[in-house]
Amino acid sequence: MSQHTSGAKPRPEVLIIGAGIAGLTLAILLEQIDIPYHIFERAAEVKPLGSAMSFTASIFPALEQLGIYEEFKKVSKAYTHVDFYNADLKMMGNIPTDQGVLISGYEYLIFCRPRFYEILLKRVPEQKISFKKKVLRTEEKEGKIHIHFSDNTSYTGDVLVGADGAYSGVRKSMYKKMDEKGILPKTDLEEFTINYTTIVGVATPSDPEKYPKLKEGYSSFNQIIYGDGGNCYVITLSNNQISWGFGVQLSNSILKEAHFRNSEWAPEINDTTLGRYRNFPCPVGGTMGELFDATPKELISKVFIEEKMFKTCYYSRSVLIGDAWHKEHNMQFKTISLANCIYGMKDSSLQSINSAFGKYYNQRYRRNEATFNESAAFAKILNGQRIIRNLVLKLLTHWKLDSSIRKDLAYRPQVAWLSLIENRGNGPVLPQEFEESNSGCPIVV
């Protein structure tokens, strides 16, 4: 693997808040170009929370560049289609992946989030991550960003990266400063619109004799749509594991409470919500309740589905990545874009920092917006009126494949300082944005 350093240029010191997938990915990228960084994580330890994840093939060339792709494939399982059922497990339709495979040259892979997280975590030196670091406040003085933590420690750097999730403290602090100066768009002050939540888990390794689909070479990817506004997925993974998740429409009382909670579910709420579906049949065998019982309660978690598109991603020396800016399926897109922009900085001055952040914004905002709109439309399909939903599902295969998948897979961002991976598929690939930016051409957005 080819690797380059930033040479004699002054190197900005980067402070990353949040040791999630976005924060770790940025650390891995900065490690390669010898840019000093440190990650600060609020939690005392990393908990293996999360369920199944699936990246589009657009991110795989970058994972190849980083030497992660082959190891990633070992903990993943390919899937050839997604099946949709009603509550009685009557087939409603399916979405095949074969055309996407031909376009990109990569199979569609599904994996367990904690196992992918482990792949990333072991690539970041232990001494560059600090846990139990709750940010109290940040301030800028003497040309630096200063972070003050609840344990009476403080750190100083040139760039502050908020990788601290959908309820980002970095974003909140940044927006407060901008609002006080009257330069924050009013829409960024609006609250999240929260109508749904997803409760997720991964059962401990199961018996393939009880669940024969675990023996199959491909993942069984199933989406169940219930008549009460809820929906569920059940997916077989590698290591004989089964992932599950429930999308539930929230009641008014929980909606009010949701605005004051963090991202963790209380166990009693999980029990109440999941109890409604315990006796429903499971598409890979048995009942849903058997999967719940095979999942440690402390590893069942929830994610609020926030319908919010923030416009502002940076101010002065602070910038947002991952869910801190906008929830996105392939969160590494933002991270790669930001790392490429930092790599292209002329020096560590505030002017260069803001120039890099501006390029990052230009590369990502319109794509974020398109992703947000597409996700919102699909959520309405899953939770919409039955007649409309059934009709759309029957047409979805042709609509999705014919009108958008080729466009989606044309965007394959890669790492600027590593040898580019050639196109494996028969579909078009957009020019790399750092190449166009450096040549003076308009940035593709």
Phi, psi of 354 (to 5 degrees): -70, -35
Q: Tokens 């031909």 appear where?
A: 102
Quick one: how far is CA 176 from the chain centroid?
A: 25
Q: Does a structural domain hold residue 132?
A: yes
Quick one: how far is CA 306 from the chain centroid?
A: 13
User: Letter for the amino acid at 234?
Assistant: V
Angle at 40 between CA 295 and CA 369, to 5 degrees: 75
Radius of gyration of the chain (CA): 22
Write the CA distances from 348 to 150, 247, 290, integer angstroms.
28, 45, 55
Which tokens sit at 5?
A: 């350093």
Q: 274 with 199: CB under 8 angstroms?
A: yes
Phi, psi of 243 (to 5 degrees): -100, 145
Burial class (CB in 10 A: 0-12, 13-18, 19+), 276: middle
Q: Does a structural domain hold residue 5?
A: no
pLDDT at 5: 45
- How far, in Å, CA of 291 to CA of 282, rounded? 8
Number of domains in the chain: 1
pLDDT at 424: 95
- How far, in Å, CA of 272 to CA of 275, rounded? 5
pLDDT at 375: 65
Q: Does a structural domain hold residue 416?
A: yes
- How far, in Å, CA of 179 to CA of 30, rounded? 31
- How far, in Å, CA of 78 to CA of 237, rounded? 9
Q: 18 with 162: CB under 8 angstroms?
A: yes
- How far, in Å, CA of 138 to CA of 171, rounded? 11
Q: Does a structural domain hold residue 373?
A: yes
Q: Does a structural domain hold residue 70?
A: yes
- How far, in Å, CA of 269 to CA of 29, rounded? 39
Per-residue pLDDT in tens (0 to 9) along the chain, 445 residues: 334 444 456 789 999 999 999 999 999 999 999 999 999 999 998 877 778 999 889 999 999 999 999 999 999 999 999 999 999 999 988 888 888 999 999 999 999 999 999 999 999 999 999 999 999 999 999 999 999 999 999 999 999 999 998 889 999 999 999 999 999 999 999 887 766 778 899 999 999 999 999 999 999 999 998 877 788 999 999 999 999 998 877 655 555 555 545 544 444 455 677 888 899 999 999 999 999 999 998 888 887 776 778 999 999 999 999 989 987 666 688 999 999 999 999 999 999 999 999 999 999 888 777 776 666 666 665 555 454 445 455 545 454 555 678 888 999 999 999 999 999 999 999 999 875 444 333 333 2
Measured N-to-C along each axis, helices 113-121 and 21-32 cross at an angle, to the nearest 10 degrees, of 30
- How far, in Å, CA of 413 to CA of 162, rounded? 21
pLDDT at 272: 74
- How far, in Å, CA of 122 to CA of 31, rounded? 13
Q: Does a structural domain hold residue 55?
A: yes
CATH number for position 171: 3.50.50.60
The edge-to-edge listing of strands for the beta sheet with 314-315 is 129-130, 37-40, 14-17, 159-162, 318-320, 314-315
SS3 content of the chain, % helix, strand, coil (to 5): 40, 20, 40
pTM: 0.88
Q: Does a structural domain hold residue 398?
A: no
pLDDT at 13: 97
Q: Does a structural domain hold residue 60?
A: yes
pLDDT at 88: 92
- How far, in Å, CA of 52 to CA of 260, rounded? 27
Range of the domain at 21: 14-76+110-190+311-377+403-439
Q: 326 with 368: CB under 8 angstroms?
A: yes
Q: 382 with 231: CB under 8 angstroms?
A: yes
In the three-class reduction of DSSP (H, G, I as helix; E, B as strand; rest coil), residue 382 is classed as: helix
Which tokens sit at 217?
A: 């070479």
